Structure 1
Amino acid sequence: MARNRIILKKVAKDSTRRLTFKKRRRGLIKKAGELASLCGIGVCVVVYGEGEVKPEVWPSAPEARAILSRFNSAPNIDRFKRVTNQEQYLRKRIAKARERTSKADDGNRERDATIMLYEAATGKCPVADLNVQELTNLGLVIDERINHLKERIERLGGAALMAPPPSTQPAEASSSLPPLVPYANGAGMEGNKRMKVSTHQKGWFINMSTMTGDAGTSADVEGNTGVGTSARGDMMHLSN
């Protein structure tokens, strides 16, 4: 869970301020010790508490005096190269806060102009009712959208030119006929022969039956009923 941003201002309540001072001073000394141990440099901390007669010195008073003497003996250029006082620190924080505020204002202005653009396009907010500042913001948003579209068109056009040409070879037409099945050990050929013979016999039997029926009919017409019946019986016996 993210910690809440702390507002850097003096704590109004005395008890809370004293408790905060003790915790922060302890943390400052701990960080100074870590910096000295990890980097192998000389670090000293001198903290004057509110209402305290003697300051708290770390790591010790003699070591702190040696480090301060070394600092004071350095040339002014080296000594004040990275020195920051309270005023400079506050000025830097104010400049950063103004920069964040300016970015937030630009984002809000762009968002309002975008909403205004859509409302003007749909007729909810007529352009004639806008003032000079609103028209200026609207024009900036429109110009930004146009530039964005132009850049996208250029990128797409470049990508289309770099793409390889499509293949011109015609696709092979797939045959609609089923594949031929090869005969195995002559079984297919024998089956085809039997099918042809059976079909031939069936056709012969149909022709003979038709001829028999015609003979019987002609015999009945001529009045020779016995001849027709005998012929039909012979054919039935022959077919059996």
Structure 2
Amino acid sequence: MGRRKTKYELITNEYARKATLKKRKAGLLKKLSELTTLCAVPACAIIFSSYDAQPDVWPSRTEACQVLEKLESVPEKQRGKNMMDQTILLKRNILQLNDRLEKQQKKNQELEKELALVESMAGESNCDWNNLEQLNELSCRLQENIKFVSDMIELKGV
């Protein structure tokens, strides 16, 4: 049985909100503990809540201070090198998707040329024979295929 999709909105019931915070905080701290143990990465968490007078600090205040001091000692330029906000993340994703789109468009154009060549050889061409550019593309494609077949024949020694 699959999980149902969670709606992310403020929990109106105060008791349920407090219970959810307690459970999620425990889950978050458990994941953080696993991360530090399995990957040997220094990490800390500081969780502020309106239910507690003091913030929850994991693993301890002294260790959290050490991690934060270590972060502060890293130069500003290097510290922000791998950090990104939503704008930077979206721009990077858009660039990657545009690259993938361009590659797919080139692949589609090549497949269309190949299809036009095969159709013209079979006598079923839908090409506009008055279009000189299309005819040149077809001719180049045909020459490439002839060269490929000739090279394969020479390679096999037939």
TM over 0.5: yes
- RMSD (CA atoms): 4.2
The equivalent residue for 1:110 is 110
SS of 2:8's partner is helix
- Alignment deviations for residues 78-115 of structure 1 (CA, whole Å, 9 cap, x no partner): 32343333333222222221222122212222222222
| Cross-structure match for 2:40 | 40
Q: CA deviation at 1:42?
A: 0.5
Q: Name which of 9, 16, 24 aligns with 2:7.
A: 16
Task: Tell me, in whole angstroms, the C-alpha distance in 2 between the residues paired with 1:25 and 1:140.
Answer: 65
Q: Amino acid of the residue matched to residue 59 of structure 1?
A: W
d(CA) in 1 for partners of 2:57 and 2:144? 57
Are the counterparts in 1 of residues 116 and 127 from structure 2 also a CA contact under 8 Å?
Answer: no
Unaligned runs of 5+ in 2: 11-20
Match of 1:101 in 2: 101
CA contact (8 A) 1:44 1:58 kept: yes
8 Å contact 1:116–1:138 — kept in the other structure?
Answer: yes
Counterpart of 2:90, as a letter, is L
How far apart, CA to CA, are the structure 1 residues paired with 2:130 and 2:33? 62
Secondary structure of the residue aligned to 1:82 is: coil
Please give the per-residue CA displacement for 1:64-89, whole angstroms capped at 9, x wherever unaligned: 44322321222234323433333332
In 2: Cα distance, 1:112 partner to 1:88 partner: 36
Q: Which secondary structure state, in structure 1, belongs to the residue aligned with residue 7 of structure 2?
A: helix
How far apart, in 1, do the equivalents of 2:154 and 2:98 lie? 37
The AA in structure 2 aligned to 1:17 is Y
Q: Deviations over 1:180-229 (max 9, x none)?
A: xxxxxxxxxxxxxxxxxxxxxxxxxxxxxxxxxxxxxxxxxxxxxxxxxx
For residue 47 of structure 1, report the CA deviation from its aligned partner.
7.8
Per chain length, whose mean CA-contact separation is higher, i.e. which structure has more relative contact order (CA < 8 Å, sep 6+)?
2
Q: Distance in 2 between matches of 1:133 and 1:28?
A: 61
Provide closer, same or farther for how the CA distance between residues 93 and 30 of structure 1 changes in structure 2, counting only shifts above 3 A. Answer: farther
Query: Match of 1:43, as an amino acid?
Result: A
Question: Are 1:59 and 2:50 counterparts?
Answer: no
Which residue of structure 2 lines up, in the alignment, with residue 141 of structure 1?
Answer: 141
Q: Which aligned pairs between 1:214-233 and structure 2 lie closer than 5 A?
A: none
Structure 2 counterpart of 1:84: 84
In structure 2, the residue matched to 1:9 is: none
Question: What is the percent sequence identity of the aligned residues?
Answer: 27
Change in 2 beyond 3 A, CA 1:80/1:57 = farther
Q: Normalising by the residue count of structure 1, what TM-score does the alignment of the two structures yield?
A: 0.42
Is the CA contact 2:116–2:138 (under 8 Å) kept in the aligned structure 1? yes
Per the alignment, do residues 99 and 25 of structure 1 end up closer, same or farther by CA in structure 2, a change over 3 Å counting? Answer: farther
Relative distance call for 1:18 and 1:37 in structure 2 (3 A) is farther
Which segments of structure 1 move beyond 6 Å, counting only runs of 4 or more? 24-28
Cα distance in 1, alignment partners of residues 133 and 34 from structure 2: 55
| TM norm structure 2 | 0.59
Give the whole-Å Cα distance in 2 for the aligned partners of 1:110 and 1:155: 26
In structure 2, do the counterparts of structure 1 residues 76 and 37 end up closer, same or farther at CA, with 3 Å as the change threshold?
same
User: Contact 2:57 / 2:64 at 8 angstroms: preserved in 1?
Assistant: yes
